[in-house]
A and B are shown apart, each in its own frame.
Chain A
Amino acid sequence: MSNEWVRQETALRDAVLAGDGAAWRTLYDGANAALWAYVSWRCAGLGDLAEDVTQETWLVAVRRIRDFEPRQARFLAWLRGIAAHVLANLLRTRRRRPEQPLAERDIAAGPDLEEERRDQAERIARALAELPERSEAVLRAKYLDLLSVAQIAAQWDETPKAIESLLSRARQAFRSEYEKLAGNDAAIQELKP
C-alpha cells in the first residue's frame, strides 16, 4: 500500500474524528460505489439483502471510524471486512427466522419462479460466505473485477501458476459449498409436511 494512500486516509480519518463532515463525505463518496458493487456480488444480486448490508455497514463504519487504521488496510478493504461480517450475521438470522408468507414477497415473476430464483441466489450468497477469505477474494478478482491471472498474480505478489491453482481450488470449494447447501435445503423440504 503506497504511503500516499496511508497519509491521505489517515488525514481524512483524523478530520472525521474531529467532527469534519466534509471529510466523511469524501470517504463516503470515494468508497460507496465500490462497496455497493462488492455487496451486490456477495448478496448474489438480492437487492433487499444488499440494501440492508450496505446500510448496516456504513452505520457500523461511522460508529467505529476510530478503529480504522490506514496503515493496516485501505478504507475500502476495511469496509468490505465489515460488510462480510454484517452479511454473515444477516444470513444466519435469515436462516433462523420462519419463512415469510408468499403474499409478502415480490412475486412479479410469478410465485414459483421468483421463489426459486431467490432461493438459488441466497444459496449462492451463503456458499460465498462459507468460502475461505482468499478463495472468495480470488473469485472476486477474476469474475467481478475482471482481472487476468497475470494481473492478480502481480497484485498479490504471487506467480501466475499459484493463482491458477488457487482459482481452481476456489471454484471447486464454491461448487462443493453450494451443493452441500442445496442438499440441506432438499432434506428440509422433504421433512416438511
Chain B
Amino acid sequence: MSEQEQSDQSNNALAISEELLEILRCPKAVQSEEYGSDPGRLRLVKNSWLVSDDSGYKYPIRDGIPVMLIEEGEKWKDVPEDELPVPPPAS
C-alpha cells in the first residue's frame, strides 16, 4: 500500500465496508479474460474512489454509495488519481 493510500485510509472510517470492497469489481473488466483469474479488482483511493488497475476505470463513491456504472467509470478513466476530486462531484 502506498503512503498516499495509507494516509487516505487512516483519516476517516472507510467510505465503504471491507466486505463490500472484497466482492465489488469493475463491471467492465470483470467480463474480460485478459486480466487473469480475478479481473476487475478495485482499490480504494482517497477514500472516495474505486479504481480498477485492469481497465483504468474509476468509480466515485458519492455519499457512501459506490456508483458502479460503466459509463461513470469511463468518464474518469483519463483523470490521474491525484487529480480525482474529493468529494466526487454530483453526476
Tell me, yes or no, whether A binds B: no
Chain A residues with CB under 8 Å of chain B are: none
Taking Cβ atoms with an 8 Å cutoff, the residues of B that contact A are none
